[in-house]
Amino acid sequence: MVKELTLKRTFDAPAELVFKAWTDPRLVSQWWGPTDFTTPTCEIEPRLGGKLYIVMHGPRGSEFDIDMPVWGVFQEFNPPHRLAFSNQALPDDKGVRQLDPTCTVTFTEVQGKTEMTLHIVLEKVNPAATAAWAGAEMGWNQSLDKLVALQIKA
């Protein structure tokens, strides 16, 4: 099983604004989650050691028509260049998180545009969450497509 993903996007915006789109809950709630998912809860403490708690909800009437919470802590916070956070998800009926990746995001400004790289390392996955991890690349790509579509402005 592949335990790392690297995804890239280029934004027609300065790095400061793209970084903000990853740390401002009002912005994150607009793009977090795959196509047709919503983000009814988005709590972010944008600082080193700050916590994040995000709840995605799948499309109504689908097999994903449930709340899917994600917990994390910022392990690196260097605006507007780099951030890293844990991204624990899929609690079982005892509250034990089944999926535990670490996400590192770098932002490089080149001539007014920002090249963003998301690198995800799977720290732990329980057998019940292997299917979720198998869909991570598709889900993150859809989320990042939504982020690009925001057309981040000052």
Q: Is 110 helix (H, G, I), strand (E, B) or coil?
A: strand
The domains located in the chain, with CATH, are 4-149 (3.30.530.20)
Q: How confident is the model at residue 1 (pLDDT cuts 50, 70, 90)?
A: low
CB neighbourhood size of 144 (10 A)? 17
Q: CA-CA distances (angstroms) from residue 13 to 21, 61, 82, 134?
A: 11, 36, 16, 31
Number of other residues whose CB lies within 10 A of the CB of residue 18? 27
Residue 97 clears pLDDT 90, i.e. is over it: no
**What are the C-alpha distances in Å from 74 to residues 50, 60, 65, 107, 119?**
5, 31, 28, 16, 15
pLDDT digits (tens, 9 = 90+) for 105-126: 999 999 989 999 999 999 887 7
- pLDDT, average across residues 146-152: 88
**How big is the chain by its Cα radius of gyration, in Å?**
15
Q: Is the pTM of this model over 0.85?
A: yes
